[in-house]
Amino acid sequence: MSELTLIERHKMFNGHQERYRHASKTNNCEMTFSIYLPPMALQGYKVPVLYWLSGITATDENFTLKAGAQRFAAQWGMALVMADTSPRGEGVADRDELGVGLGAGFYVNATEMPWAKHYQMYDYIVHELPELVESHFPVTDKRSIAGHSMGGHGALMIALKNPGRYASVSAFAPIANPSETPLWQKALTAYLGEDRSAWLPYDSTELVKNATQTLPIWVDQGDSDEYYQELRPEAFINAARGKGFNVQFSMRKGYDHSYFFVGSFIDAHIEFHADALGL
């Protein structure tokens, strides 16, 4: 375990909630992540993994502390891996603008300076983090992915770009079509430059239009979400259904963008992924 430094460990639902720090080759800095290992994993059985990607300003701790997902991961026998939302630490670029910089890596591989030096979150989430997890913990190579807001964008985008790599994907209030949303165009410009063609490979709605293979997809959205106009879930759903893909879309009356929304439906999402993972 020399690559991973344990920061904290707590017993929870007879499993372990743990937090680790490690040197990331991809992001060229130290990264932190959290993992929940269900009781089965502590008893020596290998379990599949649900990766969770969080939204802007979050760290690995928001979902860990607020969603209540561990109760259901324990019941189903699934590990949860909570990633951070950007590189961090001395020398990592930041900017005082929503969606750019610390806590807002947007799950892309940045090509523009100063971001390109550390902000390689796509490769980190798709390759480096699973390799670490799968070599250090009692898990199988079966994976699903889910997220909230910017992390919902990350989950949909990563699942669609990597056919066969994830058994299922679900997204709470995802940024579903960032290349067409003025607020997020600023972030894409910062990380990827002004050429719009560099944005499209990271836009879930564009990706689903060109997808040839699908997987179980669930988008969950509150109709009282204060960021609704910046999310465009219908653009993604319409594009997916236009391709004949079977996408589940839930519209939740009165729910907002917060973790009170995520927590209210996380049990059903864990079951959705458990089913796809063969549990």
Catalytic residues: 149, 225, 257
Judged by CB under 8 A, which of 123, 128, 256, 271 binds its own copies? Answer: 256
Q: Decide: is 224 part of the binding site for its own copies (CB under 8 A).
A: yes
For residue 21, state whether it binds its own copies (rule: CB under 8 A).
Answer: no
Amino acid (one-letter) located at 202: Y
Q: Which is nearer to its own copies, 70 or 205 (CB)?
A: 70
Shortest Cβ 215–its own copies spacing (Å): 28
Among 44, 182, 254, 278, binds its own copies (CB under 8 A): 254
Considering the rule CB under 8 A, would residue 268 count as an interface residue with its own copies? Answer: no
39 binds its own copies per the rule CB under 8 A: no
Our finding on whether 251 is near its own copies (CB under 8 A) is no
Task: Tell whether residue 260 is a contact of its own copies (CB under 8 A).
Answer: yes
Q: Is 162 in the site for its own copies (CB under 8 A)?
A: no
182 binds its own copies (CB under 8 A): no
Rounded least distance, CB 37 to its own copies, Å: 13
| CA dist., res. 172 & res. 258, Å (int) | 10
Q: Decide if residue 52 touches its own copies (CB under 8 A).
A: no
- Kindly state whether residue 98 participates in binding its own copies, applying the rule CB under 8 A: no
- Answer for which of 66, 127, 165, 186 binds its own copies (CB under 8 A) is 66
Residue 47: phi and psi, rounded to 5, are -125, 155
**Among positions 222, 235, 240, 276, the unique one binding its own copies when judged by CB under 8 A:** 222
Question: How many Å from the N-terminal Cα to the C-terminal Cα in the chain?
Answer: 28
* 271 is a contact residue toward its own copies (CB under 8 A): no
Binding residues for its own copies, rule: CB under 8 A, are 10-14, 17, 65-66, 68, 70-71, 222, 224, 252, 254-256, 258-261, 263-264, 267
